[in-house]
Structure 1
Amino acid sequence: MEWDDDTLRRFREGTPEVLAEVYRAHAEPLARLLKAAAWRGAFTRLRNAMELENTLLETFARAFEPRTRAAYNGTRPYAHFLMGIARNVLLEQSRERELVGRDEAFEGLTESSPEDGGLAELLEDREVEALLAAFKGGLSREEHRLFELRFGEGVAQEEAATALGLTRIQVRRREFGLKSRLLGFLQSKGYLEDLETRGWSFFKRRGAR
């Protein structure tokens, strides 16, 4: 993609459409680079598809943080910029695994004993945070604002409606649409597979009456 002055400005401002474009343009090439590096002998755990996806999502979650967006000057190839972030992610993950005395393979971490539950929860929390960042990156500006108001800041529907210039029923409908899309997105990644959206309520278990 082209990094003209307007694109760079909107990227630094965190415009959802631009973040989504950046993700679509660079996610697959970065995944190929990481996978190739793994098969050449560096960070061999990335041969595991789950490890590769987790690293990819964590890289973009960090790349889309405000300070990191501001650090990109639009001149250096963004693929190289991303690869630098990915290397830092991988090095930090390796140090964490050394500290807990675990094998490098992802399966060894997820099958931890109760005493190691904190580590498993930390890894899962990071994965969910990265997934949410990727989901929000694909939202429109209004959807992103609604998501942050209702689910990030916990603002009441009436206040969210006023802030967005909408009626409360419009907010309810759009909120339900966001919940449904988020659920589908997370389920495609292996989360919340036993839940569903129903009516105006939040997620309910399938089969619940």
Structure 2
Amino acid sequence: MLHEDRRLLAAYRAGETWAFEILYRAMSEPVRRFLAGGFTFVSRGRTCRYRGAVPGIDSDAIVQETFARAFAPSTREHYDGERPFKNYLFSIAKNLVLRELARKERVAALDLGDEGTELLRRKRADSVPTLSSDERDPETFLADGELKTVTKRFVAELDPEGRAFFLYRFVRGLTQEATADAMKTTRARIKLLEKEQRRAFLALLRKHGYFVGYAPKPRWTRHAA
């Protein structure tokens, strides 16, 4: 699609909002199907299989982050315009899934202690190995580094309550209710923190060239009778 439409390609590289909307409408469902169907990958010389629908992996969130990364300035710049854009998105989504699986293993290791860490280390050799940096496509590697820097800056500027919320809700992936329990506060306070952090993080992303000119549409609108 994108590699066959030079006008759309130019708009994508320029970060135009209309290009994002067209590509998202056309490609978001194929990315969801790709994640649901699973995929094979090679890590440390071994062929492995991700079967899809793994508990704790939020496919909708992976789809959203896939498009966020696809529209990152460095990623737009390094797309060659020759290979199919769908495959390009698949490679980003695949690496996000593998990164999330690796992150969950690290969190579990912290919770289980030394004995659990050793158990997970042995189990990893028989299940889902993580990717080293030289096994990832360069566009995703560049976007990862850029987003990591932006995220670190965002977290560093949070107050202690905000950092605790970010850890429980976004790093550990707890529900709003579980986050409220962990922080010993109310669900209403958690909802407010989430709303404020999402708005602030979006503003910081825009400052660094992500989603410039893009305004999410509301889920519903009230029409006059």
TM-score normalised according to structure 2 size: 0.46
Higher relative contact order (CA 8 A, sep 6+): 2
